[in-house]
Amino acid sequence: MLTGILAFFQAIPGLIGGINNFVNKYYDAKVQITMSQLQCDRDKAVAYLNAMVAADAQRVGFLNAVAHSPVLLLIVSGFAAPFIFYINKVVVWDICLGWGSTPSIRDANIIQWGNTVLIGIFGVGGVMATGQAVKTFVLGQKQ
């Protein structure tokens, strides 16, 4: 048993080296894909990917702040609850059980309402992330 534990501890540096190698190769592949998609040099592709990572971190920070604040959680739930209730009512009550006559989900006003709610809750970070990435890529500015 002791020899197994010692062998495991001796293998840890090799495992960490393998993980680092995998992450480096993955990042290089991502840079190559970005370079081919955007038709740019390596520096701009790296700056673009770094901006996307920073934007993702900012978005996670925003969602973390919402999750830890009862007031913000109540506001987000308050905006989303009517739409969630309506969609569930249409799908379960009207379509599955056939007991109701609510307007169809394909109605243009309902789709616009749902898009407004979902973009208002989740889309702001995506728009800001895209703006940050474009700013970094086009202007070459760092945040």
Distance CA 59, CA 95 (A): 36
pLDDT computed for residue 25 by the predictor: 92
Listed by start position, the domains of the chain span 1-39, 41-139
More confident residue, 86 or 29: 29
Residue 20, amino acid: N
> What is the tens place of the pLDDT at every residue in 100-128?
777 666 666 777 777 777 777 766 666 66
The per-residue pLDDT for 32 is 93
Neighbours of 118 (CB within 10 A): 13
Quick: pLDDT tens for 16-64: 888 888 888 998 999 999 899 888 899 888 888 888 888 878 777 877 8
User: What span, in angstroms and rounded, lies between the C-alpha atoms of 78 and 8?
Assistant: 51
- Given phi > 0 = left and psi -120 to 50 = alpha, else beta, which region is 69? beta
pTM for the structure as a whole = 0.47
